[in-house]
Structures are given as C-alpha cells and as structure tokens.
Amino acid sequence: MSTPPSRYGDFHVHTIYSDGTATPEDMITAAIEAGLPSLGISDHSPFPFECGWVMKSSAVGAYTEEIKALAAKYKDRINVFLSIEADILSTGLYNPDDYDYIIGAVHCLTKNGVRFDVDEAAEISNRAIDELYGGDPYALTDDYFEAVSEVVDVTKCSIVAHFDLVAKFNERSPRFDESSPRYLKAAKEALRSLTAAGALLEVNTGAVARGFKTTFYPSSDLLKEWRRLGGEIILGSDAHGTKNIAFKFDDAAAYAKACGFKAVKTLSHDGFIDVPLV
C-alpha cells in the first residue's frame, strides 16, 4: 500500500517571487488543504545578470519578510520554512544564514564563453552539444556533473536539487545513453563528492508533473548508488503552482523504497528527521 503524501513535507516549491504562478500564501493554503505537515518555500536565488526566472536582488528582503510573516500566521496549521534554491552562479547574492535551509542546484553551464541553460529547452541543449561540444553529448554531461559535485561547497546547501537535471529532455529527445559507462562514471563521481559533503539528495517529481519525464530525478541507477554510498534523501515537488504541491509523493516514496531506502527526511523545527517508508 502506498504511503499517503500527508506524512511528508514538501520542501521545494516556487512562487511569483521567481518563476512560480502563485503567491506564497496561495501555496501555503494549498499545502494545508493537501494535508501536508510542512512546506518549504524555495524561490530561485538572484543571478548576477538579467534572467527572467530568478528572483530579483531587490526583492530578496521582501521575500524573506513575507515568508516569515506567513509562517507565523499559519503556525497552528502547518510548519512553513524559508528557503532559497541557490544556483552555483548566485555566490554572494544571498546570505545562507537568513534561511532555514538552502537547496543547491546547477541550471546553467558556460562553454567557450557561452552561457546556456541545461533545462530550458531541448533545442538549447542540442545546440550546445552540436556547437559548443563538437557533437559530443558526454562532454556536456561531464561538465554538468563536475559542476554538481561542487554545489554544496559553493552554495552551502543542505539539499541537492534534481541531481540529473541534465537528462530532463533525454527521454523525449534522446541525445545520450544514461546507462553508458561514461555518463555513469561522471554522475557517480559527483555522488561520491556530495556524500562526503553530507548533503541530502532530493527525489524530485517536478519533471514528471510537467510532462518532460515519466521517472523521477534522480534515475534509479543513481538513486541506488546514492543508497550504496550511505546517502540520505528528501522529497521535493519543485511545484511552480498550487496543483503540483506534493505531486506523486506516494509514488516517489515507493520509488525510494524500491531503491533500498528505509526512510526519507523531513524538516521539523528540531532539524531534519526520518520518516520511515512503510
């Protein structure tokens, strides 16, 4: 029998402060209606250049104050935590001490002086492979996983988001084999680095919710390797609107259990604690 999603909190959601479609209060009330005990709001950190899907530097103060005020307003109905999804390009543009926890991520790479998003569109990724990497998709995935291996050190995060985001479009528009020795070597080297850094790995349901994939991040091969290394996990929907909060968390829990995990982490006011998978 699947575990009901209300046993877990959702610690990766976005609002209109970055690229979400709902206000923070709308996300909180939707989480309450879904029966969640906890919600972490984690909008995208600012970038040192103009970008439409991240928070503006001028909005960071208002963001932190609003989430704190809403946490107090709803404290008798749900635990609300203040977070930020910090990209490795955002160094110096946020103060980690201002947040209950940090989610770390890699969304962009730079090759030959050209910066590109790895998760914006299949066409962008394919063009990068062909024009910047000489048609070698594994050169791109090597660079991606090398960047991910540094995400804890750079962002000071306690959760690593969508570990294999570089494969977002690969199911529908395949350019590389996710079971190839070269791909897995780079990915597993990054996992070893992250294990040593002590971060949690997120089982992320967002790409399934938005129809890009039929399986969650990370892939089962990589999640099993994370378990073998002794790593721990947490669930995140990466919801950009109210309808996807805790999306398929029962399935994500079953997926984690099938990969050998006995528990997932959730966040309480006493820190991260285990929720057994039953």
User: For the chain, how many structural domains are there in total?
Assistant: 1
- Report the pLDDT value the prediction gives residue 6, as an integer from 0 to 100: 59
Contacts of 115 (CB under 8 A, 6+ apart): 108, 109
Nearest to 8 by CA among 37, 49, 31, 41: 37
**Domain range enclosing 135:** 5-276
Alpha-carbon gap, residue 220 to 271, rounded angstroms: 27
Q: Residue 268 sits in a domain of what CATH number?
A: 3.20.20.140
Query: Is the separation of the CB atoms in 253 and 223 below 8 Å?
Result: no
Alpha-carbon gap, residue 87 to 56, rounded angstroms: 14
Q: Divide the 278 residues of the chain into consecutive groups of 10 and give the mean pLDDT of each group.
A: 63 98 98 96 97 97 98 98 98 95 98 97 98 98 98 97 98 97 98 96 98 98 98 98 97 98 96 94
The bridge status of strand 233-236 relative to strand 114-117 is: unpaired
- Report the pLDDT value the prediction gives residue 161, as an integer from 0 to 100: 98
Alpha-carbon gap, residue 170 to 177, rounded angstroms: 9
- Report the pLDDT value the prediction gives residue 2, as an integer from 0 to 100: 39
Query: Whole-prediction pTM value?
Result: 0.96
